[in-house]
Amino acid sequence: MSENVKKGGISVDSEHLFPIIKKWLYSDKDIFLREIVSNGCDAVTKLKRLDSLGEISLPEQDYRIDVVLDKTAGTLTVTDNGIGMTADELERYICNIALSGAVEFIQKYEKDESGKPQEGIIGHFGLGFYSSFMVSQTVTVESKSYTGAPAVKWVCDSEGEYETFPSDREERGTSVIMKISDDEKELLDGSKIREILEKYCSFMPVPIFFSEETEAESEKEKEPEQINDTKPLWMKQPSECTEDEYKAFYKKVFHDYRDPLFWVHINAEYPLNFKGIIYFPKLNAEFEPIEGQVKLYYNQVFVADNIKEVIPDYLLMLRGVLDCPELPLNVSRSYLQNNGYVTKIAAHIVKKAADKLNGMFNTDRENYEKVYEDIKIFVEYGCIRDKKFYDRVKGSVLFRSALTDKNLTLDEYLEGAKEKHENKVFYAADKKIQAQYISMYADQGVEVLLLDRPLDTQFIQTIEMDRGGVSFIRVDSEIDEVLKNGEAQEDEKLTELYRKASGKDDLEVGFAALKDEKTPAVLNEDEHERRFGDLMRLYRMDGADDVPGKAKLIVNTSSPLYKKAGELIAAGDEEKVGRLCRSVYSLATLAHRQLTADELKAFLRDQYDLLAGL
């Protein structure tokens, strides 16, 4: 059987592969400049590494990369003063697709004592150089090796046909001269090249200078302009960075004139190995777009905006930079190959964000309370979506008092409620509409929290599931014992009159003796039924009408108007008692929610009639 087995290797015809690479290697052609400049950075990094290992001895010098645009010649040139190449190395690395000199160098020189590759080398796949053909009709490479070997010149056309010549280049390093093709003439615009460099190369580790050559006598030759910061803030230790530096870096990178609320500096070394700074931005309003922007870098080379795989959805409003030299990128370094490492990075970012919140709460609560309203919605959403995040930050979640605007944690609220309403949390959803209810609780010394965002309904359910026995009760959902002053008897006659006054035969009417004698009646809506209605409204997608709530009328038997109604009934004055019931019901509805147009007209008509009878 084994005699029939045939083995071999897949052969690749470069004549057919090269056009594919030219056209499809990158979805964004601008990336070509990132790749060529990255190769220059690698050339410098390799030379510096050899010097540090004692393999060579070089005088102290300035390493740099020059990007030169020559409009007249129609060329864009990238020159480095790094390691350079011999004729054999050029033949090996440039003329063989996907043979990475970076990988070979790492294998030989860039391992630490444990055998793990060290940071610094950008290239891995051996394809970046060929991106130059996406925009060029010819590409010329001139290189001189640090070894002193004769310089070499390599010229290749857009079909992949090349020639190699001796070169008279005297300086160590490599130049890549790209003759821009007719279809890409926009790349001969200096502002366009500067834009690409600033996007992809702003933080590369070797100084990058940009200049434009001109032959016009009227144009003064400009000095090369350095366009990058070789030691960005995230590469430093947090102790080395000032508050002003963090703010300036944020404004520069994200073009926001406002200061960020606060930030998290991440410097993970083992086992994840990544660095970054995550900012919590200031939002103008609750309904301002909250799409964040997290820029991903790979050894200080820009890869992409908003790599969502490393940021949970509830933290997508964040802005920041992450430099992850071990992230599993695809060949074009434009998106992630998902794996467990990415998940671990996301979990670490969540932990650092939670630690920052807890740290601010514990050590600088005054400032923490100032920013909490801006981040509240994201903290609550994170608690709903991620149990681990909730467990980490639940002690730092704040609730605002509807009475004093004071901020309280849940434990602080419950501690103050032990004597009067243990494990019950009273809250309001609208400070203005529910002012009457809030006042009734305030008169009894009961704190009412303000939970006025749509997300709050789900958030309090998350807390109730975690804190067994703790119940959140909206102030208009029931009459708690803390508001009562004894028991009250049912009144069938008055129940019938209120149903007639409301126009609802199925109106549920109850009676309670309240400590507050000035409020004749209130409307209550069952907590769980109302929450279900809130949930339906929150997720409604078809524009249907709101889910109606069924409210119960609670008549206050301590009110003078209750006694007045009894007197009118005894006197047989049905007209007056009917008008009184309609007014009381309308006032109770007005304190519970906004009146409909018909309800408002009827209410105003009754009030006008009442005034006319004075």
Task: Give residue-wise pLDDT tens across range 28-57.
Answer: 888 899 999 999 998 998 898 888 887 777
What does the pLDDT average to over 316-326?
A: 85
pLDDT of residue 515: 93
pLDDT of residue 542: 46
What does the pLDDT average to over 101-128?
A: 48
- Asked if residue 108 lies in contact with residue 128, where contact means CB atoms within 8 angstroms, the answer is no
Q: Would you say residue 64 has pLDDT above 80?
A: yes
Q: CA dihedral in degrees (469, 472, 477, 479; nearest 10)?
A: 60
- Which residues lie below 8 Å from residue 414, measured CB to CB, with a gap of 6+? 422, 423, 425, 470
Mean pLDDT of the chain: 84
pLDDT of residue 103: 43
pLDDT of residue 26: 67
* Domain 398-475, architecture per CATH: 3-Layer(aba) Sandwich (3.40)
pLDDT of residue 336: 54
Taking the C-alpha atoms of residue 394 and residue 83, their distance in angstroms, rounded to an integer, is 54
- Kindly report which listed range (75-79, 309-313, 521-525) carries the lowest average pLDDT score: 309-313
Place of tokens 């490599």: 174
For residue 403 the two structure tokens come to: 């009475």
Q: Would you say residue 66 has pLDDT above 50?
A: yes
**Amino acid type, 603:** F
Taking residue 478's Cβ as centre, other Cβ atoms within 10 Å add up to: 16
- Asked if residue 65 lies in contact with residue 170, where contact means CB atoms within 8 angstroms, the answer is no
**Amino acid type, 480:** D
Q: 537 or 345, which is more confident?
A: 345
Taking the C-alpha atoms of residue 434 and residue 103, their distance in angstroms, rounded to an integer, is 68
Q: Would you say residue 325 has pLDDT above 90?
A: no
Q: Would you say residue 67 has pLDDT above 50?
A: yes
What does the pLDDT average to over 500-516?
A: 92
Closest CA to 87 of 148, 133, 158: 148
Closest CA to 64 of 207, 212, 170: 207
What does the pLDDT average to over 520-535?
A: 87
pLDDT tier for residue 547 given thresholds of 50, 70 and 90: very low
Taking the C-alpha atoms of residue 576 and residue 582, their distance in angstroms, rounded to an integer, is 10
Q: Which fold does the domain 14-214 belong to in CATH?
A: Heat Shock Protein 90 (3.30.565)
Per cent of the chain over pLDDT 70 is 83
Q: Report the run of H or E that residue 498 belongs to, with start and end.
A: helix 492-502
* Domain 233-391, architecture per CATH: 2-Layer Sandwich (3.30)
What does the pLDDT average to over 66-94?
A: 93
- Asked if residue 398 lies in contact with residue 372, where contact means CB atoms within 8 angstroms, the answer is yes
Taking the C-alpha atoms of residue 46 and residue 123, their distance in angstroms, rounded to an integer, is 11
Write the DSSP assignment of 545-614 as a string of letters. PPPPP-EEEEEETTSHHHHHHHHHHHHT-HHHHHHHHHHHHHHHHHHHSPPPHHHHHHHHHHHHHHHHT-
Where along the chain do its domains lie?
14-214, 233-391, 398-475, 485-525+548-614
Closest CA to 588 of 472, 501, 481: 501
Indicate the pairing of strand 301-305 with strand 319-323.
unpaired
pLDDT of residue 124: 42
Helix pair 574-592, 435-442: axis angle to 10 deg: 90
pLDDT of residue 540: 62
Q: Report the run of H or E that residue 24 belongs to, with start and end.
A: helix 14-24
pLDDT of residue 332: 44
Closest CA to 495 of 549, 443, 557, 438: 557
- Asked if residue 322 lies in contact with residue 232, where contact means CB atoms within 8 angstroms, the answer is no
Q: Would you say residue 609 has pLDDT above 90?
A: no
pLDDT tier for residue 139 given thresholds of 50, 70 and 90: very high
Write the DSSP assignment of 267-283 as a string of letters. EE-SSS-EEEEEEE---
- Asked if residue 246 lies in contact with residue 233, where contact means CB atoms within 8 angstroms, the answer is yes
pLDDT in tens, 244-276: 999 999 999 998 888 999 999 999 887 788 899
Q: Report the run of H or E that residue 91 belongs to, with start and end.
A: helix 87-93
Q: Report the run of H or E that residue 293 belongs to, with start and end.
A: strand 293-298
Taking the C-alpha atoms of residue 328 and residue 132, their distance in angstroms, rounded to an integer, is 24
pLDDT of residue 102: 40
Q: How many separate helices (H) and strands (E) can be counted in the chain?
A: 18, 21
Closest CA to 472 of 421, 534, 427, 420: 427
Selected from 2.40.128.260, 1.20.120.790, 3.50.50.60, 1.20.1640.10, the CATH number assigned to the domain covering 485-525+548-614 reads 1.20.120.790
For residue 156 the two structure tokens come to: 């290749």
pLDDT of residue 317: 79
- Asked if residue 473 lies in contact with residue 430, where contact means CB atoms within 8 angstroms, the answer is no
pLDDT of residue 331: 43
**Amino acid type, 479:** I
Taking residue 557's Cβ as centre, other Cβ atoms within 10 Å add up to: 21
Q: Would you say residue 286 has pLDDT above 60?
A: no
Q: Would you say residue 131 has pLDDT above 80?
A: yes
Q: Would you say residue 529 has pLDDT above 70?
A: yes
Taking the C-alpha atoms of residue 355 and residue 396, their distance in angstroms, rounded to an integer, is 10
What does the pLDDT average to over 331-358?
A: 76
- Kindly report which listed range (18-27, 451-460, 556-565) carries the lowest average pLDDT score: 18-27
pLDDT in tens, 461-489: 999 999 989 999 999 998 999 999 988 88
Q: Would you say residue 544 has pLDDT above 50?
A: no
Per cent of the chain over pLDDT 90 is 51
pLDDT of residue 7: 64
pLDDT in tens, 551-585: 999 999 999 999 999 999 999 888 889 889 999 99
